[in-house]
Amino acid sequence: MSESKIERLISEDGIRCDGRKLDEIRPIKFQLGVLKNTDGSAYVEWGRTKILVGVMGPRESHPKHLALSDKARVEAYYRMASFSVEEWKSPAPSRREVELSKVIREALEPAIFVEFFPRTSIDIFIEVLQADGSTRCASISAASLALVDAGIPMRDLVASIAVGKVEGKLVLDVQDKEDKAGESDMPMAYMPSKNAVTLLQMDGQITHEEFLQSIELLKKGCMEVYKKQKEAIENHFKSAVSNGEEA
């Protein structure tokens, strides 16, 4: 945006400001079962983005009149900690957080067998401890694992990632700096086994051709996240078994 910034975000030989290639994702570390008082939980470190997710439910709907007779009511609460960004952020939910909570819920609900739990609620609480871009993608990917940890039956994991346009080039897994300076941001959430897109947003300006390329890049990125999610589940239950706990 600001012309004074001469710093290039992509070098001549296609290396990004943090040393990644254009289609390379950041290091992602998922961990399941990190909280004691939830039914399921997960923590993710996605580059410098750090997010904690706790799931409560299926449990009695509260208030009761909101209960649905044919399925569980899923709610997501996406919140950013006041210290998670450059400048102090009021803990009261902003319009952005309200919208993100809605689209995150809509990204996860297709994966959950909500029809198995009529009249109950499944609450997904997301706390962004540090934000460095792609927080909705990291939230959705980690929330999928928290749902698994809660033992809630699911059609598939939801994997999510974003593609941005920076200095005219499409880049996978946008970090904050690239998002702010970039020309566009396009996050997608995807259930690979159902070939189902459960979240797709875009802002910025891209051509039709770039849009087609973005979709391909997003699918590739989601498959990489999906693989890491599966590994995290395996590791979690392997260690649970070796510790003699009930998996």
Partner 1 sequence: MSQRIVPTVKRKQIIELSESGRRMDGRTLTDYRDITIQTGLVEKAEGSALVSIGGTKVVAGIKFEVGDPFPDIPNEGVMQVGAEFVPFASPEFEPGKPDEVAVELARVVDRGLRESKVLDTSKLCLIPGKKVWIVHVDVYILDHCGNLIDTAALAALSAMLSASMPEACIEGDAIRLTGKRMPMPITDIPINVTLAKIGNKLFVDPSFEEEEVLDCRFSVAFKENGMLCAIQKGESGYITPEEVLRAVEIAKDKSQEIRKKVVESLKLKSDKVGES
Binding site for partner 1 (CB under 8 A): 1-2, 69-70, 74, 95-96, 98-99, 101-103, 105-106, 109-110, 184, 186, 190-191, 194-208, 211-212, 215, 219
> Please, what is the Cα angle at 247 between 238 and 105, to 5 degrees?
100
Nearer to partner 1, 56 or 197 (CB): 197
Shortest distance in whole angstroms from residue 107 CB to partner 1: 8
Shortest distance in whole angstroms from residue 194 CB to partner 1: 7
Shortest distance in whole angstroms from residue 236 CB to partner 1: 26
Nearer to partner 1, 1 or 247 (CB): 1
Residue type, 65: H
Shortest distance in whole angstroms from residue 237 CB to partner 1: 27
Nearer to partner 1, 59 or 194 (CB): 194
How far is C-alpha 109 from the geometric centre of its chain's CA atoms? 14
Strand partners, 28: 46
Nearer to partner 1, 90 or 207 (CB): 207
Nearer to partner 1, 153 or 204 (CB): 204
The conformation of residue 152, written as its DSSP 8-state character, comes to: -
Alpha-helical (H) ranges within 79-195 are: 95-108, 135-149, 176-181
Residue keyed to tokens 């797709």: 200
> Strand 159-166 and strand 184-191: pairing?
antiparallel
Alpha-carbon span 51 to 179, nearest angstrom: 18
Shortest distance in whole angstroms from residue 90 CB to partner 1: 16
> Cβ(34)–Cβ(17) under 8 Å?
no
